Amino acid sequence: MLLALDEGKQKVQTTMRTFWNFNGGIKHVDVWEPNCWVQVTCPVDDDKDFLEQELGMPDYFMDDVSDADERARYDMDGGWLMIILRIPHLKSVTSRSPYTTIPLGIVLKGDKIITICNQETRMMLDFVNHQMRRAEGFTDAADLVFRLFLSASVWYLKYLKQVNGIIEKAKRDLDKHIDNKDLINLSRLQDSLTYFGTSIRGNESLLSKLKFRLPVDELDAELIEDVNIEMNQARETTAIYINILDSTMDTYANIINNNMNTVMRLLTSLNMIILFPTFITSMFGMNLINGMEQWKWGFPIAIIACVVSTAISLLWFRKKNWL
């Protein structure tokens, strides 16, 4: 575990395996003790051996949590309860899907409470920092689980606000330069919102089942109500942003098509304008005797005809608003 101080407040950055005592506040301890929270981030073989050999966790739990596509669900084996919660994660703004979701494993049995995540996320760092500032700890394992659900819902809303900012910027840029790159960036956000919507619905379904699986007291019931409100807001917000993004992408595509049509119309108009002068000059270029080559006004008349035909074509196309 790494600790850093920022303006007098304790910030926490976790690496590998960390033990937290949460009685009367959350405090770091050096070794595992009963009823402490074991936080495992980016697990290595040593972490896996500790969880499976010393704590007795079923070996396939780690494989399930390591599956990036694992859906939100719970599983029981020999008194162990494994909960897989889909949490939001920001990879990189330049990646194919900058905002995505990853599985967070929560494993419970008696006095053993374990969370496993294969990536370091801002959500988990913020969760630990917030619990340290709250200085109340957790009443039991169920309280920890539902607070993780609440934190995930809040971070979905935070990332959705960032996505909305990108969409609003794209809408403001509609009057400026538009190219395929802008459309591709919006397409990436569309993938991210799809991941968000699917994961939030999975978390909602999982929460409705855990209410009857975990011991829930009056305080937990109030916390679950808060989680339901946040999840419902996140789901509805995701649906709204998906509709807005679809509309914005359609507008982008229409503008790009319209710009292409304008360019093609301009090129067609220019071809038509130079058609008549080309026709006139090509007649004088033929190796045939037509009398014009002997007439002193032949060349000036040809020039005047080219200018007049060009001017007439130009005026006609401008009247049609093609130029």
Has residue 158 got a pLDDT over 90?
Answer: yes
Has residue 175 got a pLDDT over 70?
Answer: no
Give a three-class secondary structure readout of 81-143.
EEEEEEEEEECCCCCCCCEEEEEEEEEEECCEEEEEECCCCHHHHHHHHHHHHHCCECCCHHH
pLDDT band at 57 (very low <50, low <70, confident <90, very high): very high
Has residue 13 got a pLDDT over 50?
Answer: no
- Which candidate, 27, 2, 241, 223, places its Cα nearest to that of 137? 27
**pLDDT at 220 (0 to 100):** 79
Mean of the per-residue pLDDT values of the chain: 83
| Domain 2-257, second-level architecture | 2-Layer Sandwich (3.30)
197 contact partners, CB below 8 Å, separation of at least 6: 235, 238, 239, 242
Q: Of 20-29, 46-55, 146-155, 287-296, where does mean pLDDT reach its minimum? A: 287-296
Q: Counting beta carbons within 10 angstroms of the beta carbon of residue 318, is it exposed (0 to 12), middle (13 to 18) or buried (19 or more)?
A: exposed
- Please give the angle made by the CA atoms of 155, 51 and 53, to the nearest 5 degrees: 170
- pLDDT tens per residue across span 213-225: 888 887 778 899 9
- pLDDT tens per residue across span 195-216: 999 999 999 999 999 988 888 8
Domain ranges across the chain: 2-257, 259-319
Place of tokens 């608003």: 321
Distance CA(263)–CA(257), nearest Å, equals 10
> Are 40 and 63 contacting, i.e. CB atoms less than 8 angstroms apart?
no
Distance CA(163)–CA(195), nearest Å, equals 13
> Are 313 and 279 contacting, i.e. CB atoms less than 8 angstroms apart?
no
Helices H / strands E in the chain, number of each: 7, 9
Distance CA(104)–CA(217), nearest Å, equals 24
Give the global pTM: 0.77
Tokens of 181: 């790159």
